[in-house]
Structure 1
């Protein structure tokens, strides 16, 4: 039984690391969008809330 428990622990560690790696990617994408919004400050604020409300 101990062997099975060890395997489960290893499997749990793998996905956890994957999720952590995904977080920075999402943040980077958000930063890219923010930079574009800065360029279109007049249009960005109107489109920002609209998309968020729809989602």
Structure 2
């Protein structure tokens, strides 16, 4: 029975997977929304606006 993961380990794996999927989804949506915003409004509204982190991305 040593091949089974403990409850604590499996819980961390599930939460880690949830966090990874959530972050990946939110980051991809941020870049898609930013691209849509640029396409629709151009640079005249907010040229310094970033997709994710202000001033970086």
Does the pair score TM above 0.5? yes
Residue ranges of structure 1 left out of the alignment (5+ in a row): none
| TM-score (structure 1 length as normaliser) | 0.59
Residue ranges of structure 2 left out of the alignment (5+ in a row): none
Between structures 1 and 2, the one with greater helix share:
1
Higher relative contact order (CA 8 A, sep 6+): 2
Q: Tell me what 2:14 maps to.
A: 14
From the CA coordinates, give the structure whose radius of gyration is larger: 1
Q: Report the number of matched residues.
A: 45
* Aligned residues: CA RMSD: 2.2
Distance 1:42 1:16 in 2: 40
SS at match of 2:44: coil
- The list of structure 1 runs, each at least 4 consecutive aligned residues, that deviate by more than 2 angstroms after superposition, is none
